[in-house]
Amino acid sequence: MTTTQQIIIGSAQRTIELQAASIALQLQYINENIIKAVETIATCKGRVVISGIGKSAIIAQKIVATMNSTGTPALFMHAADAIHGDLGMVQQDDVVVVISKSGDSPEIKVLVPLVKNFGNTLIGMVGNMQSYLAAQSDIVLNTTVTQEACPNNLAPTTSTTAQMVMGDVIAICLMELKEFKTADFAKYHPGGALGKKMYLRAGDLIKQHEKPVIKAEDDIKKTILEITKKRLGAVVVLNEKDEVIGIVTDGDVRRMFEKYDRFDGLFAKDIMSSQPKSITTDTLAIHALELMKQNNISQLIITSNGQYEGVLHLHDLVKEGII
């Protein structure tokens, strides 16, 4: 390893160690003020308006995003813009959170009295307990760190990590107080793979397909043609009462060619796999994937009230980003 490479590795390790230490330090700041902050936000009739300047403003935006996605309505208000008109977004029942490392920046000193005059509860998240913000806040959340990861101890690094962690602490505490469940989470995350895993159901995926189906007494030619036509790699076998009794997959067809020299007199029922795996239309797609993995299969039969509805293929889950 070259000297330059050693410097890089050393710097990376030191940065991680300092960041980890800044997070561990926050444990000693978990006290009655956290309880007050969480209870105040949980019981407020308005929103949480979170503000900051510089890097703290970026952290504020992240905390707002986390709260909104976990059931706590929140808005971001840049501290500089607030004193030029954006303060109008603060309503009577809102709780205001102001984030600052120093707690003494000019914008903060202008913003804080205005919030106090409005009568809103002010929660200060601050890294300097002797600062103006700490003195003026109704509730103070301490995010003090001993050292920035920056070699000059200047660029906000460990301090912003501490702020983000404290924001996550509040958001998670609020989730647990409100008993925020997976179903609630899904309502706020309908897009992307994460949302699909929590709300997309098997019945939603089979609507794009035709239903591959044959009768038990249908011959092999018709069976193979139905598999080819419906392009799902399988066909479902029904009896005279239209009840599912089996499935013929591409694999079953290949095994047929290995076992038989002639196919005259063979029917779907002769080569089908009996007792195929099936799920109902309201089964979550992610659970369908788990069943496919457990049984090492690529298709599942979908039913509703005992009636055959279609076939779900592994490729459907891939296409929707479930895998």
- The DSSP annotation for 213-270 comes to EEETT-BHHHHHHHHHHHTSSEEEEE-TTS-EEEEEEHHHHHHHHHH-S--TT-BHHH
Query: Token pair for residue 289?
Result: 């994937």
Residue 312 has pLDDT above 90, yes or no: yes
Question: Residue 202 and residue 117: Cα distance in Å, rounded?
Answer: 55
pLDDT band at 261 (very low <50, low <70, confident <90, very high): confident
Residue 38 has pLDDT above 80, yes or no: yes
DSSP line for 153-212: S-SSSHHHHHHHHHHHHHHHHHHHHTT--HHHHHHH--SHHHHHHHH-BHHHHGGGS---
Please tell me the predicted confidence (pLDDT) of residue 180. Answer: 79
Please tell me the predicted confidence (pLDDT) of residue 220. Answer: 93
**Average pLDDT for residues 8-19, to the nearest whole number?**
93
pLDDT band at 258 (very low <50, low <70, confident <90, very high): very high
Rounded to whole angstroms, the maximal C-alpha distance in the chain is: 92
Please tell me the predicted confidence (pLDDT) of residue 208. Answer: 81
Q: Are 90 and 115 in contact (CB under 8 A)?
A: yes
Please give the share of the chain, as a percent, with pLDDT higher than 90: 76
Please tell me the predicted confidence (pLDDT) of residue 229. Answer: 93
Question: Residue 10 and residue 203: Cα distance in Å, rounded?
Answer: 53
Residue 37 has pLDDT above 90, yes or no: yes
Q: Quick: pLDDT tens for 107-149.
A: 999 999 999 999 999 999 999 999 999 999 999 999 999 999 8
Please tell me the predicted confidence (pLDDT) of residue 322. Answer: 78
Contacts of 118 (CB under 8 A, 6+ apart): 90, 92
Please tell me the predicted confidence (pLDDT) of residue 286. Answer: 87
Residue 67 has pLDDT above 90, yes or no: yes
Mean pLDDT computed over every residue of the chain: 91
Give span(s): CATH 3.10.580.10, the chain: 202-319
Question: Residue 260 and residue 266: Cα distance in Å, rounded?
Answer: 10
Query: Token pair for residue 151?
Result: 């070699």
Give span(s): CATH 3.40.50.10490, the chain: 3-180
Output 190 or 94, whichever has higher pLDDT: 94
Nearest Cα neighbor of 146 from 13, 20, 12, 7 is 20
pLDDT band at 4 (very low <50, low <70, confident <90, very high): very high
Please tell me the predicted confidence (pLDDT) of residue 193. Answer: 62
CB neighbours of residue 180 within 10 Å: 17
Side-by-side strand order, sheet with 139-142: 74-78, 48-52, 95-100, 121-126, 139-142
Residue 183 has pLDDT above 70, yes or no: no
Question: Residue 153 and residue 158: Cα distance in Å, rounded?
Answer: 10
Beta bridge pairs of residue 140: 124
- Just give the CATH number of 202-319: 3.10.580.10
Question: Residue 202 and residue 281: Cα distance in Å, rounded?
Answer: 5
Please tell me the predicted confidence (pLDDT) of residue 47. Answer: 95
Find the DSSP H helices in 26-143.
32-43, 55-69, 79-82, 106-118, 132-136
Q: Quick: pLDDT tens for 187-216.
A: 676 666 666 676 788 898 898 888 999 999
CATH topology of domain 3-180: Rossmann fold (3.40.50)
Q: Are 303 and 269 in contact (CB under 8 A)?
A: no
Q: Is the pTM of this model over 0.85?
A: no
